[in-house]
Amino acid sequence: MALPVGRGMFTLAVSKPLPTSPLSIPGVELTGRAPPKNSTVSLEHIEKPPNMVLWPQFHNGVAAGLRLSPNAMLDSTWILSNRPSPPLSTPASEDGSGPAHSRCSPQHAGLLLALGLSGHLSSLMDFELFDYLQDKHELTTVAVLLGITASRVGSMQRSIASILSIFLPPLLPFGSADMEISQTIQTAALTAMGLLYLGSGNRHLSEVMLREIAHVPGPELEFADDRESYSLSAGIALGMTTLGRGGDLPGMGDLRLVERLAVLILGGPKSQMLTGAAPNCPSHLILEPEVVNTHVTSPAATVALGLMYLKTNDSSVASRLDAPSTLYELDHIRPDFFILRMASRGLIMWSDVQPTQEWIDNHIPEIVQRHAFQSSDRMEGQSDPNIDYQTLSQAMVCISAGCCLAIGLRYAGTLDKQAHSVLMKNVRFLLTKMSSPASAEEVGKSCLEMCINVVVLSVAMVMSGSGDLEVLRIIRRLHARVTPPEVTYGGHMASHMALGFLFLGGCRYSLSRSNKAIACLYSAVFPLFPSSTTDTRYHLQALRHLYVLAAEPRVLVTRDVETGQATSVEVCVRGEREIKGRTPCIVPEWSSINEIEICSCDFWPIKLDLSGEENNMRQVLAKSGTVFVRRKTGERGGGGGEESLLVGPSSHSTSTPPAVSKESWSCLGKMRRKTTPC
């Protein structure tokens, strides 16, 4: 059930449907195989939790919609024609939907989100959007709110903001009629508002989002659920609204954003968070203490601070996220919070992130390095009763994983050799600890599993679109695990996302490092993955697909001008560094390339000048990724046809952009044949 998330990444923008043909969405396969004889196991006669397949079906619809190319000519007529037809009778279904939901389904909701991420949902008129929203289908509403803003990122369009405000009670005028809006819809609306006002520095929205991070549940019991994901979405929205602005926010000095976010991260009395706004209701079902509940607010505030000061290299703000150096302070911080703190610190100190083990070790406090993984000493009676070795061991792996995530975001899509090497070293270290019973017991298998997922995703982001064989082997090893109880639905989702990053868009796409791309990537790879298919406590599952806004076509293909067939030639790409290799290959970000030279002996030499900020040739290449070459008379070398798509070095060095090797495709094929439902 976790496969569709990765499938959507693998098949990103590979299809151009005809405007007259409907979209076929494959079903979610729920039949399993039981080892060792691979006997069939059906879930039809097995008791299962309600709504177990809603989110998998939603992800399945997203995967089907992401196949469609952004260049496909799809209008509102095509979108509405793919809407499910109402059945003759409308009894209550498994997802609790009644007659009002007869034209809505989780799969179509996922399709709407995919169309929004691809830019197609902007063709819907306002009355057509309201037609979807009035059905009051939860997943459809989530998809529409996120989809319409993904098509208009940073536009601050007032009509869209008005639609979003309907589903956000904090933005409604005082005295407005109370509406029953589910927590999931409000969570999606918060993130959607952040996308719409990306980088705007809007004061009112920033103040509201800061207040919602520490939102106290009112008398309604349902609003006490999934508080963490609601708070996180408010933090993401605040970070996106102030993205990369740092202290350059005119007219917002009195809000004291940094100081108040620090209270939400580190804890403190609520009096330091007063904004002059009265609570919605004086009565609450949950008795809140007089101090900030950091279990709810810390992840959201950490993400918000990291995005707000993205690439500013502000050391004074970054120091607030340093790991504490005393055992007392370490004991009062949840281990998984260290992952977010180190990642956000890396986003702030963007220029200081180095792909070395030394850089990672420098962020680990001395007391942690000295006492982590000392189980053998404890057995010999040499342990100190005043030291909690488990806390220190968990802090070590989580701090390392957070630094790896910072490296993954900093070098996303660069195919950097050093980043690949240090991240693979950390993956092997964690896998070794997982296989050791003493170390696994000391740290906790769940903690190790979370860190493994983070580091594997990080190395996959660095090598995105390359099909690197070494990374593929690690992912295949993780994918094959089924029986361990610590391997949850979220663990399989993480491994499938890593595989999707590695073969992003069929190895035609890679990841951008623009401010918008980093914000969306950070939201998509948030390290707390769901424990089950129905889990949205810490992170809204729909946000896992925001990576699409960070993906960009980066493959360079050469074609024979006479035959039109793809052919492999030697190419030299010059920019920040000189890269030599053979096409097809993944190239650095188009904005960093100054010149592309065809230097094959079998073809006439070509030099393409891409220097200058507004270079038309660069824009054409970024869109098509194709360079036409002419073969010299009498020359037969160089290869041609579709077979040349697999020609090229499998090395992942920074001096040679890797083509996807035949071994990688073979290994991927074996994974598909041996897939076990998760």
What is the DSSP secondary-structure string of 55-89?
A: HHHHHHHHHHHHTB-TTS---HHHHHHTSPPPPSS
Beta bridge partners of 360: none
For residues 566 and 491, state if they share a domain: no
Contacts of 281 (CB under 8 A, 6+ apart): 218, 219
Query: Does residue 476 lie within any of the structural domains?
Result: yes
What pLDDT does residue 60 have? 95
Specify if 465 maps to a domain: yes
Same domain, 357 and 502: yes
- 443 and 357 share a domain? yes
How many domains is the chain partitioned into structurally? 2
Q: Which residues contact 214 (CB under 8 A, 6 or more apart)?
A: 231, 264, 270, 273, 292, 293, 296, 297
pLDDT at 650: 35
Peptide bond between residue 36 and the one before it cis (omega within 30 degrees of 0): yes
The answer on 566 and 494 residing in a single domain is no
Residue 158, pLDDT score: 94
Can you give the pLDDT at residue 663?
63
Classify residue 28 as left (phi > 0), alpha (psi -120 to 50) or beta: beta
Whether residue 152 lies inside any domain: the answer is no
pLDDT at 647: 32
Whether the bond into 173 is cis, omega within 30 of 0: no
Q: Report if residue 99 sits inside a domain.
A: no
Tokens at 168, concatenated: 């956000």
Identify the pLDDT of residue 651.
Answer: 36
pLDDT at position 74 = 86
In a domain? residue 241: no
**E strand map for 512-659:** 551-553, 555-560, 566-567, 570-574, 578-582, 585-586, 595-598, 606-609, 626-629
Full residue range of the structural domain in which residue 589 is found: 555-647
Say if residue 518 is in the same domain as residue 383. Answer: yes
Q: Is residue 342 in a domain? A: yes
Let me know whether 528 and 575 are in one domain.
no
**If the chain, 678 residues long, is cut into consecutive pieces of 10 residues, what is the mean pLDDT of each piece?**
92 86 84 78 74 92 93 87 72 46 84 94 90 91 96 94 93 79 94 96 94 78 75 97 90 89 90 55 63 92 97 96 92 94 97 96 93 65 75 94 98 94 97 90 91 97 94 92 80 95 94 96 96 93 97 92 90 87 89 88 88 80 88 60 35 43 62 51
- Angstrom CA distances, 594 to 351, 554, 574, 585, 611, stand at 22, 15, 6, 17, 4
In this prediction, residue 138 carries a pLDDT of: 94
Same domain, 494 and 587: no
Instruction: Copy the structure tokens of residue 450.
Output: 């979370």
Strand partners, 216: none
Q: CB–CB of 430/397 below 8 Å?
A: yes
Dist. CA 122–CA 135, nearest whole Å? 20
Phi, psi dihedral angles at 220 (to 5 degrees): -80, 125
User: Residue 631 forms beta bridges with which residues?
Assistant: 603
> Within this chain, do residues 354 and 320 fall inside the same structural domain, yes or no?
yes
473 and 562: one domain?
no
Q: Has residue 92 been placed in a domain? A: no
DSSP type of residue 291: B
Residues 465 and 360 in one domain: yes
- Pair 495, 560 in one domain: no
Domain annotation covers residue 3? no
Q: 519 and 639: one domain?
A: no
Beta bridge partner(s), residue 573? 579, 596
Judge contact between 156 and 200, C-beta under 8 A: yes
Cα(31)–Cα(318) distance, rounded to whole angstroms?
A: 49
Phi first, then psi: give them for residue 34, nearest 5 degrees. Answer: -105, 125
